[in-house]
Amino acid sequence: MRNSFPFVFVFLPLLGCRANSAGMGTSRTPEARRIERDIRALVDCGTRHTLSADEGARGIAAARRWLVGEFERISDEFHGGRLEVRAEAHSVAPSKRLPDGADVVNVLGVLPGRDPERLIVVSGHYDSIPSDVMDARSDAPGANDDASGTAVVLECARLLGGLQPRATVVFLAVAGEEQHLAGSTAQVAAWKAAGLHVEAFATNDIVGGGRGSNGRREPDRVRLFSEGRPGGGLEIVGSDSDSSSRQLARYFEEVGERELANFDVDLVFRLDRFLRGGDHKPFHEQGFAAVRFTEPNENYAHQHQDVRVEGGEQFGDLLEFVDCEYVARVARVNAAGLRALALAPRPPEGVILDTRKLSPHTRLAWAAASSGSVAGYRVRLRRTSEPRWSQTIDVGLVQEITLENTSMDDWLFAVEAYDAEGHTSLPVYPTPKR
């Protein structure tokens, strides 16, 4: 959904998750009730600081144990035991926020696909911090930042129950995000060293949907951040808005808004917010398609704050400030995109734009599919001033097409593959070739 007026806000009472809290509503849908339970379980760990001590029910180790157990329960209940659950420790070198280094442990639920080297990943970070980033003792509930995103990951694992994917799907709960993205940086390095290709990575960070510091609340909009220029030393020619990450953002918008009517997946064309960063950043920097989901109106009194009342205002990242119905909608958008990507054939390879001579026509070519799963290809087009693909041409099962009277100077192009069931890959922007 794309409004003509981007700043239209809904002023409603906050629908908090916490049942029986004064003035707060209770979660209604089964999805929202599950999400409330997930967030509460993480909040009840007291602190989830990456350097917090293991004190039984308190600390990041308690959260990790709970996540492993929850993934195992989801595997049994929703996937017939097919979800491979593991905790992966990564040794991180000393840094400003990890002065002695640390073993940062990510928790994964892996749904194997027929193409095991292709990874479709949804993530949230389960660590949290109070006002002082080095304070590993004080309470840091982290309900919105980022138990909400971790709850999206768990809910996606439930919503995709029974899926028999072509690509492997990874449900990833990351630690060390608050320590300069330590967990995600280590994870992408490990996957890259193992020769795995992360075809799509979506992180959910601060998706609680409460009232922002600006007093506004928008229950039917989520921001989706993506960088237009590629990372990993890759280059694109003729566009500043066609990295694989930008293609992934457009893909999630198309699929998500079909899945959830009247919900706006709002494309934000920059890597992230000013002065902030998320776990998609190291993936994009390695050349993989990576995006970030975030609520539209953040409340800075409820992020990275000691729990306290000051000047009559409640500070702290508490469960009562999270709208679990909103989180459930964000999870549905994520799950729809993950399902579509996981079932799709591989994206086309070797896509080129023929620039050998001046012509009023445009010739595109690409390599033949490496498997028999592809039923055909489509060319996507948009004017250079348009943010989204506006035209689609089905060209069938061919490896090249000449678009008559369509100037390469006036249009941007991409090629996507589809299979016999209509599952569609990410579009691939062409490389000009002389």
How does pLDDT run along the chain (434 residues), one tens digit per residue? 454 333 333 333 333 454 333 333 455 799 999 999 999 999 999 999 999 999 999 999 999 999 999 999 999 999 999 999 999 999 999 999 999 999 999 999 999 999 999 999 999 999 999 999 999 999 999 999 999 999 999 999 999 999 999 999 999 999 999 999 999 999 999 999 999 999 999 999 999 999 999 999 999 999 999 999 999 999 999 999 999 999 999 999 999 999 999 999 999 999 999 999 999 999 999 999 999 999 999 999 999 999 999 999 999 999 999 999 999 999 999 999 999 999 999 999 999 999 999 999 999 999 987 767 999 999 999 999 999 999 999 999 999 999 999 999 999 999 999 999 999 999 999 999 98
- Measured from the Cβ of residue 174, the count of other Cβ atoms closer than 10 Å reads 30
Stated pTM of the model: 0.93
Strand partners, 376: 418
What DSSP assignment string belongs to 237-263? SS-SS-SHHHHHHHHHHHHHHHHSTT-
pLDDT recorded at residue 368 = 80
* Residue burial 106-125, b: 16+ Cβ < 10 Å; e: rest: bbbbbbebebeebbbbbbbb
Q: What is the spatial distance between Cα 287 and Cα 243, in angstroms, rounded to a whole number? A: 9
The 3-class SS string of 142-199 reads CHHHHHHHHHHHHHHHHHCCCCCCCEEEEEEEECCCCCCCHHHHHHHHHHHHCCCEEE
pLDDT recorded at residue 207 = 98
- What are the φ/ψ torsions at residue 392 (nearest 5 degrees)? -135, 135
Question: Which DSSP state fits 388?
Answer: S
Q: What is the spatial distance between Cα 243 and Cα 226, in angstroms, rounded to a whole number? A: 9
Q: What is the spatial distance between Cα 239 and Cα 347, in angstroms, rounded to a whole number? A: 20
269: which 2 tokens?
A: 């064309």
User: At a CB cut-off of 8 Å and minimum separation 6, what does 358 contact?
Assistant: none
The amino acid occupying position 229 is R
Q: Determine contact, residues 215/322, Cβ cutoff 8 Å.
A: no
Q: What is the spatial distance between Cα 105 and Cα 183, in angstroms, rounded to a whole number? A: 7
322: which 2 tokens?
A: 């999270």
Q: How far is CA 20 from CA 27, 159, 309, in A?
A: 11, 28, 20
Identify which of 315, 340, 91 has the alpha carbon closest to the alpha carbon of residue 202. 340
pLDDT recorded at residue 27 = 56
Between CA 63 and CA 6, with CA 221 as vertex, the angle to 5 degrees is 145
Q: What is the spatial distance between Cα 293 and Cα 285, in angstroms, rounded to a whole number? A: 18
Output helix, strand, coil percentages for the chain, rounded to the nearest 5: 25, 25, 50
Radius of gyration for the alpha carbons in the chain, expressed in angstroms and rounded: 22
286, 287, 289, 292 alpha-carbon torsion, rounded to 10° = 40
Q: Determine contact, residues 190/258, Cβ cutoff 8 Å.
A: no
pLDDT recorded at residue 7 = 36
Q: Where on the phi/psi map is residue 195: left (φ > 0), alpha (ψ -120 to 50), or beta?
A: left
pLDDT recorded at residue 371 = 67
In order of start, what are the domains of the chain with their CATH numbers? Answer: 30-343 (3.40.630.10), 352-433 (2.60.40.10)
